[in-house]
Amino acid sequence: MRHGGKRKGSGRTPLPEDQKRIAKTIYITPEQQNDIDRFARGSSFSEKCIDLISAQIERKKRLENREVKFIDLFAGMGGIRLGFENAFREKGFEPKCVLSSEIKDYAAKAYKKYFKDTEVSGDISQISTEDIEDFDFLLAGFPCQPFSSAGLQLGFKDTRGTLFFEIERILKEKRPYGFLLENVEGLVNHDGGRTLSTIVNNLKQLDYFVSYKLIDSKYFGLAQSRKRVYIVGTRDAHISLDNFEERTTVLGDILDHNLPTVDSTFTKKLFEHFTLEEVVGKAIRDKRGGSGNIHSWEIGLKGETTPEQTEFLNLLLLERRKKKWAAEIGIDWMDGMPLTEKQIETFYKRENLREFLDELVDMGYLTLEYPRKKENNRRVPDETKPKGYNIVTGKLSFEFTKILDPNDLAPTLVAMDVSRLGIADNGGLRRLSIREGQRLFGFPEDYDLSFLKEREAFDLLGNTVCVPVIKDISERLADMYGA
């Protein structure tokens, strides 16, 4: 009986010819050895050399091909894509979008109308990574869901349960050259900074050089102050987000003229008490005091007030914000607490005070309510405390919440109240137009939202990105990509 010999199926599977390693000898200086150890990735000298050689070959291919592929996630109106494409085209590349993802129906309609023939996929969490064509850059203005609840059991070591996880999943499996992410200002301090730290650390663990910064659009030629967090990364090196060329403008530079004005009960009341010049630059709200605010009782919106009533309401507006009342009431301080008749008497002496206060309640300028205590991170009425008088502060009940100053900047536009911003025009007031809103974000004049409902268009604007900021950042990505 014969023993030994090669069994069927034993031994290593032969490698294809194009995968077999070829032994080569190179001669390097000690300085080059140090540079390889410092800059290359790999556990062995051979792996480090291959890392550097592969990176240089990829650069040569990019310079020869000049095509840059990208995916556009949580795409909205496509503002990130616009800035990215403009920057790369000016640098001599031909950008090609291989996937766009957006779940909001009217956002997808606007996107497809502008970018022509572009298919917009839906929920990115339902798209397999295998179904995504290889690409070079991932772009995303991702929603910032509460990481604190998603990471409660994980000590913030994981992002599962948040939409950022979809970005991480795709970067990990597709390994593109780089990414550009945008998020709201609040991400910086969300959950004490741990959310942003989780995001940045997880991106670094995917072998990216990561940079991030809070950047204000007002320094990029836009007439809007809009602070947003920008996060970028590449395989090669950090991208600086400092020292961009500053350019400034004011609202008047982008406004149209002689558009139809609003003739309503609100505007009539406003102009019975103030001139057009007096309201420009003013906020119209009952939550704050100061000379920059006009209050409902100052225009008789719920009924004409006497000088005494106006004086008292302005006094209470400020007094109710003092922290000493929280200690006396026995609640955590909040910005605007109800004060009892007895508490009001300490700073406002008047006969028949209760009747005076109740009349303002009947008019709708005051409300009688319980103070609010903190309960599970929410404010709920504390019925163990006596009721007090408080200002009625429903900002969005006003037809206009701010009259913009053409010699200044627009405030940060948000979807909730962008349609309530007023413009002085033609001797009266009108709303900020959709076209003017687009200019505040740097969208081109041929980007058309006119086919949407006004509510839908303003919702898109309130959630979009500042195209010139994206373009300036993308120029630096293009320089690194083509280096």
CA distance 74 to 80: 10
Whether 466 sits among the annotated catalytic residues: the reply is no
Q: Which ranges of 91-128 does DSSP label H, i.e. alpha helix?
A: 105-115
Marked catalytic residue, from 49, 97, 144, 466: 144
CA distance 142 to 461: 16
CA distance 194 to 401: 34
Give 25's DSSP letter: -
Closest to 456 (Cα-Cα) out of 185, 53, 1, 110: 110
Burial of 180 (0-12, 13-18, 19+ CB in 10 A): buried
Angle at alpha carbon of residue 277, lines to 272 and 281, rounded to 5°: 105
Phi, psi (rounded to 5 degrees) for 73:
-100, 150
Locate 442 and state its tokens. Answer: 């740097």
Q: Which residues pair with 67 in a beta bridge?
A: 94
Q: How far is CA 90 from CA 87, 123, 289, in A?
A: 5, 32, 49
Neighbours of 195 (CB within 10 A): 26
> Which residue bears the tokens 């006396």?
328
> Which residue bears the tokens 């009986």?
1
CA distance 274 to 122: 49
Enzyme catalytic residues: 144
